[in-house]
Amino acid sequence: MARVAIVTGGTRGIGEAISLALRDQGMTVAANYAGNDEKARAFTERTGIRAYKWDVGDHQACQDGVAQVAADLGPVDVLVNNAGITRDGTILKMTLDMWEEVIRINLGGCFNMAKAVFPGMRDRKWGRIVNIGSINGQGGQYGQVNYAAAKSGIHGFTKALAQEGARFGVTVNALAPGYIDTDMVAAVPADVLEKIVAKIPVGRLGQAHEIARGVAFLCSEDAGFVTGSTLSINGGQHMY
């Protein structure tokens, strides 16, 4: 029977690529989204992957959303916490709302979703959780104290939860993308983007499918001995 996977923020950009990669690996995928109904419908028509709307920053909504997916598709075996937002600004300009919203979605969403799927994975003695971090959570980034803090927190969250899941066959890993050619990066001013690319040793932006392939491996049967790890896919921009 096909594994059931949930990909948060799974209808656009990197999330869409991940949803497609897991589908192509033979999984039954549910793609979560938060806002754009029209684009979600177009995604489903294009891919055949069902889209489910809820706010990952809302704890009860995650419980209800996971329950609905399980009722429709079967117990959830794989979770990819990909949903994320930016509210950039230096700390002098950053409001409390900008701080709290990024933490609520980017980091809180990981807790809310893991809380909803982990008990079932533990009981069935198999599960894969992959949390999407960021190069900016590893190395920091000017004007992103909220985003960098949330993404950095994901790496600690991953290592701690990996220790809880290991003896139950539940692996928990993170993947830290560098700068990827998505709508989010396309919104960066051209002169700034040029400077970013100049710092990437391979000399280009990454592609969403390159991230998706890494996620697909971490979600596979073959990755059972990989847990508590962070896979960095960034073209060599940050190494440690």
**Cα–Cα dist 173/152, whole Å:** 13
**Cα–Cα dist 53/163, whole Å:** 31
**Cα–Cα dist 225/203, whole Å:** 33
Are 85 and 102 within 8 A, CB to CB? Answer: yes
State the catalytic residue, choosing from 33, 147, 179, 240: 147
From residue 81, alpha-carbon distances to 29, 113, 154 in Å are 13, 8, 10
Helix/strand number for the chain, H first, E second: 10, 7
**Cα–Cα dist 103/92, whole Å:** 18
**Cα–Cα dist 79/82, whole Å:** 9
Active site residue 142: no
**Cα–Cα dist 192/162, whole Å:** 37
Q: Describe the crossing of helices 208-218 and 13-24 by its angle, rounded to 10 degrees.
A: 50
Question: Which positions are catalytic?
Answer: 147
